[in-house]
Structure 1
Amino acid sequence: MTHPTARNRLDEAASPYLRQHADNPVNWQPWGEPAFSAAREHDVPIFLSIGYSACHWCHVMAEESFADPEIAAVLNEQFVPVKVDREQRPDVDDLYMTVSQVTRGSGGWPLSVFLTPERKPFYITTYVPKEPTRDQPGFESLLEDVTANWRENRGDLDARAEQWLQAARGELESVPDPVDDAGTDSPLPAAADSIADAADATHGGFGRGQKFPHAGRLRVLLRATQRDAG
């Protein structure tokens, strides 16, 4: 199977962090419709890796796994690999970090998310070592397990993805759709409005029920405020 976007496209990215991964053997795609279309056309999951330049474990995982030709071959064959700079796309980061915090009770970077072609998350974790440890499978083993489950238990994965998104919406109240914004106005105002609507004015924080720290949301609000002031 050869994807129509079968090359690493990060050399075209504006983000210095993404360009750091332009030489990986992984055929990284930026977040956008070409990647989503490839996943739909070939009915394969999206592997989404979210990080940023100053993230230590992002660089460790890149050196251990994303520079490995054998692991890259699995990613390129069985997934559409997508790389996101959380500082460039806080809306994407905030959505999937919320899912991680709601479903796992924690988050971190790199954020490693397996998505349906409709961008619904069905498995989420953070740094994954290349080799298995006592507590974690190795990254290649994880990719093999996800691939097998995608083929054999698709209905269960789709149902889980929908449940997780509903749980995230319960926290965010109104989740902006993190679609490609190329050629359109910035998504920042819409994201900021959505986050502000989810604020709990009585008890603090965002959403209802149990709350977790959401630094990404605060960063979006600060950026929107700075943009309006400027």
Structure 2
Amino acid sequence: MIKEASFMSNKISRRTFLKVTGASAAALGAAAVLGGCQAGDNSSIEVKVGDKISNWNNLAVQLTSVFTLASAPDAEGYEYIAMLITSANRSSRDTFAIGAQNIQEIGEAYPLDTPEQIAANTAGYFHALSASTTDFSFTCDGQAAEGGAYVQLYDSTTESFTTASAIPPQGAGYIELVCMVPTTWQQIGVTYTPTFVSGKTLNFTINASDLTKA
């Protein structure tokens, strides 16, 4: 069954976010010892839903779930698809900047805290997020698509998530990708070129059938 959520899951309650995405504190605990393929420093790695990369330039990732967020309010026949990546920073000293680096400013400019604000600001928030996400590029069925990314860090003390722009040393969290695609989409491709390495990429492939795995 396809799971749906209100747009911008960083603005709905964390408990609801966990329920909708299937995310959990246990999953994040596992991220610290994420097993799977030892990718080393390979220049280009292919990742599909369910794949685990235990260490790639000190970053561990697993593409854990794909789900529908909502219809796109400013583009008839389009919808927002979110892809959740469990991630862990294995470095003891380096902070990894990922996705939109001005996420707090975007949230302030386009608040999504009430139903009224969500109705008025969803499109602006998404387009600003996309414009600020320069380390990810998106395609849908071979055509360029608009998408954004930000990080959700888990605080085990408060059992809550905090929207961030980076994963700290030895930290774990979720990278949430959001892409606007036609409702008839079949395949989404995401290329991640990190700011902390040069000339290397992670290439994520998501098929429409993967929605059932969310």
TM range (shorter): under 0.3
User: Would you tell me which structure has more strand in proportion to its own residues?
Assistant: 2
TM-score (norm 1): 0.26
TM-score (norm 2): 0.27
User: Would you tell me which structure has more helix in proportion to its own residues?
Assistant: 1
